[in-house]
Structure 1
Amino acid sequence: MHTRSILLAASAALALLAAGPANAAPKKAPADPATALQQRLLTLDTHLDTPASLALPGWSIMDAHTVAQDYTQVDLPRMKRGGLDGGFWAIYTPQGPLTPDATRKARDFAFLRAAAIREMVAAHPESFALASKAADAAAIKASGKRVVYLSIENAWPLGDDPTLLRSFYAMGVRISGFAHFRTNQFADSSTDKAKWDGLSPLGVQLLAEMNRLGVVPDLSHSSDRALDDALRLSKAPLVLTHSGCKAVFDHPRNIDDAHLKALAEAGGVIQINSVYVKGLKQRTERDAAMKALEEKYPEDRTLTADERDAMLAERHAIDTKYPEVRATFDDVMANLLHALKVAGVDHVGIGLDWDGGGGVTGLEDIADLPRITKALLAAGYTEADVAKIWSGNVLRVLAAAEAEAAKEQAGS
């Protein structure tokens, strides 16, 4: 609180005392300590799929939305309520054919998505600011704005030219992944058949380009063998921007304790997500209905306002008829606490995959973030620990990438 505000508050309190008990205002309940701490901390999420919302007809980041209304999870009003200061806004491209024509279209899509993120910032300079260095985040928070780093989920749009990453770096990209749900030209996916036994030769070149530029390599979605290659070859620490623990839920997207320890030993960080935190079995009818909905409204197609309204109505009808079986807040915390136990508090953060499939019962959107902070404090972690988890660890990794890039460029 500013000095002037403190003096005004003190003056008001003295005035109430002088007026006597009859005129005394009712006492205001103290703010929840976890919520107050959340607002003070620099809180970043490493995997925001919210840029996809920017393409929705009539949708604005400045307006308050609800999950029940339109299934979105991040907007400025909710960022303020939940204490989210920003993070890494993803340029996500769904994997398509490995053909020159398809890859060119993916490249153009990715550049337009990057431009849309920058346009969001340019349209609302009082609320958002682009970040390019690790040190920028704290300064942006101090200014009262929200932090916007860019990241790439799925490097497929780079085609066969890893140096194209330089153009995305110039647009603000500071974290980049390799593959998504399907194996591509850079790496094997954790959820597809292996073709390269890890990183491909082109993937090794892309990793070197990341080190040269100061882009943090992201191995979420990539196979364990790709992670092994990156751990062996990268000159800077790695990040898993949105992953979970196989010891809690044995899914290919999650990583085992041995890899957790190896990641930590190399200075890297795992950012715990809220997807694949528990084995869930949906009704066959729901799976079929959702598949039909996705085929009718594919994710790489821009919908008109009427189509968007129709899609939402059909999705609500499916949810009503065939309710989703969902994981819970406790399941997310089980992953987070396990990672902290195995990797240590210096090597764990949070990337919940908002607007990309994340969210569980009790952690519906970013307004619920203080629940995580409250649970961490209850588990015995200090405020300094919580600060590392919410942003300190990933910013340390970004700073290390910057240092490696400076070293390489000075020697070139």
Structure 2
Amino acid sequence: MKRTMLPTWLCIPFAAVALAGFPAEAAEVSPEAVQLHERILVLDTHLDTPANLRRPGWSIADRHDHDGAFSQVDLPRMREGGLDGGFWVIYTGQGARDAAGNRAARDHGLQRLLAIREMLAAHAGDFELALTADDAERIAASGKRVVFLSMENASPLAADPSLLSAYHQSGLRMLGITHTLNNDFGDSSTDPKGAEWNGLSPAGRALVAEANRLGIVLDASHASDAVFDQLLTLSQAPIVLSHTSADAIYDHPRNIDDERIRRLAAKGGVIHVNAYGGYLIPVPKLAEREAALAALSEKYGPDSGMNAAQIQAYLQESERIDRQYPVPRASLDDYLRHLLHILEIAGPEHVGIGADWDGGGGVTGMESVAELPKITAALIAAGYSETDIANIWGGNLLRVLRQAQQVAGAAGDIK
């Protein structure tokens, strides 16, 4: 189904996490772990890679290690790391919520959708759009990479919520309600102003019903606890957290508590564990560092408009800021603490991987998708079976998608 070449790092030991059920001795990505990883369907629920698709001179077909955190997913490293694909994100930052801002969000979302469809057309031999769980299995078996579509932040729909149907017809199969700020559909977990709607707005509740009608999986990542609770109650199909970590390991508003993880599992949902360092460990905010990084961002402008030379210049200046104002950086062990804790709470039938690649994810010891077999090796070392690992890497996600589409089918809609 996938590649057979083994990258040189695969036999390098990495530190295991000292948790109940997980051996504290060093673990290796053994040939057996690689073979298991190759046999199963490996999907990630949150790939922010579409942000790179229109970057000057950037191609999904080329390897971009030299771009550091700017680029963590491309076809060569997907092959190396055994990533069969996943959900490619139509992300829109939350802007002004007036008529002009809503139109800008609408246009941005459609442009991001178009960029993904352009990638599919330009690389039809390597990537294929998936609309169903069966599609994903067939596409991966053919040697191509799976492209599901998701939306992070429903703000492109604020000007016209009926656009959700058009997005569905274009392939959208997952919908996240909010991002870092409240929007017209609900409250964010991190808006400094606090709750505006005490969960979902009336428009948000209508959006939930429409997503159910269409067979679109609802995603509660970034949303407030109240939104999560209401989604669990209102949705006729299981919901997911596409990229969220454990509040019990690091108490952060973007993470979720154990009681809600248990309720998610009881309703058949899945939590996909995030590798965004600031949600894994405490990272202090240094005023001087924040000011320097803000000035750097202003100097170079939006990431999507930077060419290769500008990226390298940015990286050099950013490294100087890191040396001048160092802060802790999350490690693979930190990530595994969250993953293994959530597995203990939810069970392997309700956990997946959504590392937030190209959206700030990645940790020391796992910098890109080329290193994904390290997660499989850690799961083996923790005692999980091949069936469990296959479910974590894709089976649980596909089950939820099937259930969402069955709910829609029962209502008489065609997927």
Asked if 1:195 corresponds to 2:187, the answer is: no
Is the 2:42–2:394 contact (alpha carbons within 8 Å) kept by the matching residues of 1?
yes
2:148 is paired with a residue whose SS is strand
In structure 2, the partner of 1:278 is: 281
In structure 1, the partner of 2:388 is: 385
Deviation at 1:366, TM superposition (A): 0.5
Asked if 1:327 corresponds to 2:330, the answer is: yes
1:284-323 deviations in Å (ceiling 9; x for gaps): 4322211222333444873466654543443343334444
Structure 1: which 5+ residue stretches go unaligned? 2-29
2:397 is paired with a residue whose SS is helix
In structure 2, the partner of 1:24 is: none
2:358 is paired with a residue whose SS is coil
Distance 1:111 1:31 in 2: 43
Taking structure 2 as the reference length, the TM-score comes to 0.88
The structure-2 alpha-carbon separation of the partners of 1:67 and 1:382, relative to structure 1 and needing over 3 Å to count, comes to: farther
- Counterpart of 1:345, as a letter, is P
Asked if 1:269 corresponds to 2:286, the answer is: no
The structure-2 alpha-carbon separation of the partners of 1:76 and 1:301, relative to structure 1 and needing over 3 Å to count, comes to: closer
2:242 is paired with a residue whose SS is strand
Distance 1:37 1:404 in 2: 33
Distance 1:227 1:120 in 2: 33
Is the 1:45–1:351 contact (alpha carbons within 8 Å) kept by the matching residues of 2?
yes
- Counterpart of 1:272, as a letter, is V
1:338 is paired with a residue whose SS is helix
In structure 1, the partner of 2:98 is: 99
Is the 1:49–1:89 contact (alpha carbons within 8 Å) kept by the matching residues of 2?
yes
Is the 1:100–1:159 contact (alpha carbons within 8 Å) kept by the matching residues of 2?
no
1:271 is paired with a residue whose SS is strand
Distance 1:150 1:364 in 2: 23
The 5-angstrom pairing of residues 170-209 of structure 1 reads 170-192=169-191, 193-209=194-210
Asked if 1:225 corresponds to 2:226, the answer is: yes
Distance 2:69 2:132 in 1: 34
- Counterpart of 1:102, as a letter, is G
- Counterpart of 2:268, as a letter, is G
Of structures 1 and 2, the one with the larger relative CO (CA 8 A, separation 6+) is 2
The structure-2 alpha-carbon separation of the partners of 1:350 and 1:205, relative to structure 1 and needing over 3 Å to count, comes to: same
1:318 aligned residue (308, 318, 321): 321
Deviation at 1:283, TM superposition (A): 4.2
Deviation at 1:75, TM superposition (A): 0.4
Is the 1:67–1:364 contact (alpha carbons within 8 Å) kept by the matching residues of 2?
no
Q: How many residues align?
A: 383
In structure 2, the partner of 1:398 is: 401
1:45 is paired with a residue whose SS is strand
Percent identity, please. Answer: 54
1:102-159 deviations in Å (ceiling 9; x for gaps): 1111111111111111111110111101100111111001100000001000001101
Asked if 1:295 corresponds to 2:298, the answer is: yes
- Counterpart of 1:146, as a letter, is R
Deviation at 1:92, TM superposition (A): 0.5
Distance 1:305 1:67 in 2: 10
In structure 2, the partner of 1:148 is: 147
Deviation at 1:335, TM superposition (A): 0.7
- Counterpart of 2:54, as a letter, is A
The 5-angstrom pairing of residues 352-367 of structure 1 reads 352-367=355-370
In structure 1, the partner of 2:39 is: 40
Is the 1:290–1:318 contact (alpha carbons within 8 Å) kept by the matching residues of 2?
yes
Distance 1:297 1:106 in 2: 22
Is the 2:103–2:159 contact (alpha carbons within 8 Å) kept by the matching residues of 1?
no
Distance 2:304 2:47 in 1: 20
- Counterpart of 2:163, as a letter, is L
Is the 2:189–2:222 contact (alpha carbons within 8 Å) kept by the matching residues of 1?
yes
Distance 2:332 2:41 in 1: 22
In structure 2, the partner of 1:61 is: 60
1:45-64 deviations in Å (ceiling 9; x for gaps): 00000000112111111111
Distance 1:40 1:110 in 2: 35
In structure 2, the partner of 1:52 is: 51
2:248 is paired with a residue whose SS is coil
Asked if 1:341 corresponds to 2:344, the answer is: yes
The structure-2 alpha-carbon separation of the partners of 1:381 and 1:99, relative to structure 1 and needing over 3 Å to count, comes to: same
Distance 1:71 1:307 in 2: 11
In structure 2, the partner of 1:108 is: 107
Is the 1:34–1:373 contact (alpha carbons within 8 Å) kept by the matching residues of 2?
yes
Distance 2:308 2:369 in 1: 25
2:53 is paired with a residue whose SS is helix
The 5-angstrom pairing of residues 228-243 of structure 1 reads 228-243=229-244
Is the 1:86–1:147 contact (alpha carbons within 8 Å) kept by the matching residues of 2?
yes
Distance 2:43 2:161 in 1: 28
Deviation at 1:282, TM superposition (A): 5.2
Is the 2:30–2:377 contact (alpha carbons within 8 Å) kept by the matching residues of 1?
no
Distance 2:125 2:371 in 1: 24
- Counterpart of 1:185, as a letter, is D
The structure-2 alpha-carbon separation of the partners of 1:70 and 1:240, relative to structure 1 and needing over 3 Å to count, comes to: closer
Deviation at 1:410, TM superposition (A): 5.5
2:133 is paired with a residue whose SS is coil
Larger Rg: 1
Distance 1:354 1:323 in 2: 23
Deviation at 1:99, TM superposition (A): 0.8
In structure 2, the partner of 1:374 is: 377
Deviation at 1:368, TM superposition (A): 1.0
Deviation at 1:243, TM superposition (A): 0.2
Deviation at 1:324, TM superposition (A): 4.6
Distance 2:183 2:319 in 1: 34
1:84 is paired with a residue whose SS is coil
